[in-house]
Amino acid sequence: DSGVTQTPKHLITATGQRVTLRCSPRSGDLSVYWYQQSLDQGLQFLIQYYNGEERAKGNILERFSAQQFPDLHSELNLSSLELGDSALYFCASSAGGLNEQYFGPGTRLTVT
């Protein structure tokens, strides 16, 4: 158990819909990262927040957005969903600096 929690564990929705994935970092960690992992794309970095502020942006689509709240939990919002958005979405957290990332168990999103 990494100490990072993600909800929901599974999510099935239809194309065109909007969903919100939630992540609670390890106690004390200020940094939160979001990744997408699909079968044909590997692990893709989406975005990083540090203490509520966006710190780095990767291959995040304009239909996707994220935020980190004052209590440090984070949400990833995916809208206008397409079949290709079906993937495992991982959240990770770290204390910042050179500290390693701790990954959550992931949310499996299926878009039908």
Partner 1 sequence: LAKTTQPISMDSYEGQEVNITCSHNNIATNDYITWYQQFPSQGPRFIIQGYKTKVTNEVASLFIPADRKSSTLSLPRVSLSDTAVYYCLVGDPRRYGQNFVFGPGTRLSVLP
Residue closer to partner 1 by CB (options 46, 111) is 46
Residue closer to partner 1 by CB (options 19, 33) is 33
Interface ranges with partner 1 (CB under 8 A): 2, 4, 33, 35, 42-45, 48, 55-58, 88, 90, 92, 94, 96-106, 108
Query: How distant, in Å, are the alpha carbons of 26, 78, 79, 98, 105 from that of 20?
Result: 20, 6, 9, 29, 16
Q: Which amino acid, one-letter code, is at 1?
A: D
Question: Shortest gap between Cβ of 16 and partner 1 (angstroms)?
Answer: 27
Strand runs labelled E in 25-62: 31-38, 42-50, 53-57
Residue closer to partner 1 by CB (options 70, 97) is 97
Question: Shortest gap between Cβ of 100 and partner 1 (angstroms)?
Answer: 4
Question: Shortest gap between Cβ of 59 and partner 1 (angstroms)?
Answer: 8
Using CA atoms, how far apart are residues 58 and 87, in angstroms rounded to an integer?
17
